[in-house]
Structure 1
Amino acid sequence: MVPRNGDSSVLTVEDVEVPDPGPGEVQVEVAAVGVNFIDVYQREGVYPIETPFVSCSEGAGTVTAVGEGVSGLSVGDRVAWGQGLGAAGTVVNRSVDDLVPVPDGLDLDVAAAAMLQGMTAHYLVTDTYAVGPGTVALVHAAAGGVGQLLVQMVTAKGGRVIATAGSPDKLEIARRLGATATIDYSQVDDLAAAVREANGGAGVDVAYDGVGKATFDASLASLRARGMMVLFGAASGQVPPFDIQRLNRGGSLFLTRPTLGHYIATREELLARARSVLGDLAEGRLHLEVGGRYPLDEAARAYDDLEGRRTTGKLLLIP
């Protein structure tokens, strides 16, 4: 529960009575809840939400009750979701419009871990900038949840990845997943120059930047003429306003600030993305690392670890 805006210390665990599912809803016994930076933005008030509210938008579990008018889902079905508040509970009611089926053979905790970050990586490489053979992509925080998936998806489409991270261990994760060049950004004075050197002196086609303030300038400076800067997060802080003429001077650059909701705007698109990501995980074509599992009453510690960039892979809360 987020009773008021603030840092992780405001988070509380409370006992509440969950009503029967309403029309168009099912009740789900939650197996795992995804921990994401969007939860931080909402808790801090960067994305304003009226308090109090139950945090988290991503989870997976088993249907335990079905509301009026629901078809296509039954008690015992395994489902996952990646949007809408209120996931951080032991039992939740969810609209069937938000739910997707979890394939046989895929653990529920992996499904919970994959929904938001997996579909984010999917739309970034298929729609925001359509990666293809020969594409050179810069991926920041490549050992993080989205970063690891981006490295794999770009590589699977025939692209090359220049990966950045903040330690040798994290860079080794990126190399193992397919990155062709890696850069420890804590050890270089000019990150953009290091990126260009890793690409034979040329700029990259696209920069996938979920770090934000700390890497934004270097990402722009790493692009080729008419390259695309994709700012999809702000782990290091929000990027301040800047002179749009910088895009002109950098070589007619493109800049976009996408968010997942606009790429799953229809039920059909949600199902297509989720089936692609979850199917690849179930079939072993995609690997997802769960970097930490925390009890629900230790949510503050999970977010402190996430915000302190002390983790790799995906973090989960386990009710």
Structure 2
Amino acid sequence: MRAIQITEFGGPEVLQVSDVPEPVAGDGQVLIKVDRAGINYADTHQVENSYLSKTELPLIPGGEVVGHTEDGRRVVALVGSGGYAEQAVAHAPYAWDVPEGVTDGQALALVLQGTTAWHLLKTSTHLQPGESVLVHAGAGGVGSLAVQLAKLWGAGRVIATASTEEKRKQVLDLGADAAIDGTPEGLKDRILEANGGKPVDIVLEMVGGRTFDESFAALGRFGRLVTFGAASRQSAAPIDSSRLMKGSKTIAGFWLADCFANPQLLGGPLTELFDLTAGGKLRPIVGGEYALSDVASAHEDLRARRTVGKLLLDPTR
């Protein structure tokens, strides 16, 4: 079958179409004919071996797929790796039926980014009605859903960062109360201005480096910052414990992989997200679709921040 298989670590240039053996489902697994695979920013880290979990070669990237099982179910599944292919194998508890009213692209947007946004707001930061929320990369896969969920769940003011004027307009259309430039220089001041001169209660941060530092500086009393990525590939400055004590601030980390040991930590939120989407209350954004042979361009676009929403990969092209 056709698949993207890498035999060396590197940038988008190592992503090449290969002919590989078809996978075989073992006990407790399901074989899925892949209609679309999801493309995630984490994939760019996995391909260069800079992800939180180390990767072994050869590797077929891609952690999520939507397609049909051998008995005809339409499912969305987390596969760990192997998604950039015509067929993939998933452990049965991590393959969920996609309900009517939810498209393939929407299902892929929800299974990883949606559940991440859900946990960031509910599990990591415990959003309370009326609180202000800063969402970095508000036009991205997680960000575009987090903006909407924060508003649905009663946030008082939602501020989103985005890199271009077009993206800032998009996040305002999704319900953000303010959209600002996410450039690190002067970011703290722009956050405060967007929040009426007040520090924010919650920050969802996935850039790292100076963006993390500026965001923490804009955090109010009893504020919570959760970090769930490092898109800048830079480390933030160390934070002395006294800076946490003054203002009673919290820094948390979140990695969806820590939910994988318990499928219900994914299935429960996903059911809620499916219902919101089918009911028209949540709008997952599908930002682009790429042929399997053009996956390197998808990674280049992701790394250059040229994308919005969820990116899909079509294994038939």
CA distance in 2, matches of 1:219, 1:82: 31
Unmatched tracts of structure 2, length 5 or more: none
Aligned to 1:46: 50
CA distance in 2, matches of 1:240, 1:222: 15
Which shifted more, 218-227 or 260-269?
Answer: 260-269
**Residue 61 of structure 1 aligns to a residue in which SS?**
strand
Q: Does 1:18 align with 2:22?
A: yes
Aligned to 1:166: 163
1:214–1:237 CA contact under 8 A, matched in 2: no
Q: Aligned-residue CA RMSD in angstroms?
A: 1.7
CA distance in 2, matches of 1:172, 1:52: 41
Q: Does 1:132 align with 2:124?
A: no
**Residue 215 of structure 1 aligns to a residue in which SS?**
helix
> Which of 16, 27, 34 is the aligned partner of 2:31?
27
> Which of 90, 102, 105 is the aligned partner of 1:106?
102
Identical pairs, percent: 37
Q: Does 1:61 align with 2:67?
A: yes
Unmatched tracts of structure 1, length 5 or more: 65-74
Query: Measured at CA, do residues 245 and 295 of structure 1 come closer, stay the same or move farther in structure 2, by a change above 3 Å?
Result: same
**Residue 69 of structure 2 aligns to a residue in which SS?**
strand
Aligned to 1:67: none
Query: Measured at CA, do residues 270 and 189 of structure 1 come closer, stay the same or move farther in structure 2, by a change above 3 Å?
Result: closer
Q: Which runs of 4+ in 1 moved over 6 A?
A: none
Q: Does 1:204 align with 2:208?
A: no
Aligned to 1:181: 178
Give 2:62's aligned amino acid.
C
CA distance in 2, matches of 1:15, 1:189: 47
CA distance in 1, matches of 2:291, 2:114: 23
Deviation, 1:248, is: 3.2
TM-score, structure 2 normalization: 0.92
Aligned to 1:223: 219
CA distance in 1, matches of 2:190, 2:25: 54
1:214–1:236 CA contact under 8 A, matched in 2: no
CA distance in 2, matches of 1:268, 1:164: 31
Deviation, 1:83, is: 4.7
Give 2:229's aligned amino acid.
G
Give 1:110's aligned amino acid.
Q
TM-score, structure 1 normalization: 0.91
> Which of 268, 279, 286 is the aligned partner of 1:283?
279
CA distance in 1, matches of 2:55, 2:206: 22
2:212–2:236 CA contact under 8 A, matched in 1: no
Give 2:179's aligned amino acid.
T
Q: Deviations over 1:228-274 (max 9, x none)?
A: 11111111213246143363376332111210122353122221011
CA distance in 2, matches of 1:162, 1:108: 29
2:38–2:312 CA contact under 8 A, matched in 1: yes
CA distance in 1, matches of 2:146, 2:219: 18
CA distance in 1, matches of 2:86, 2:129: 44
Query: Measured at CA, do residues 245 and 133 of structure 1 come closer, stay the same or move farther in structure 2, by a change above 3 Å?
Result: same
Give 1:117's aligned amino acid.
Q
Query: Measured at CA, do residues 207 and 83 of structure 1 come closer, stay the same or move farther in structure 2, by a change above 3 Å?
Result: farther
1:32–1:61 CA contact under 8 A, matched in 2: yes
2:10–2:47 CA contact under 8 A, matched in 1: yes
> Which of 222, 229, 234 is the aligned partner of 2:230?
234
1:196–1:202 CA contact under 8 A, matched in 2: yes
1:136–1:206 CA contact under 8 A, matched in 2: yes
Query: Measured at CA, do residues 244 and 265 of structure 1 come closer, stay the same or move farther in structure 2, by a change above 3 Å?
Result: farther
Equivalent residue pairs, number: 308
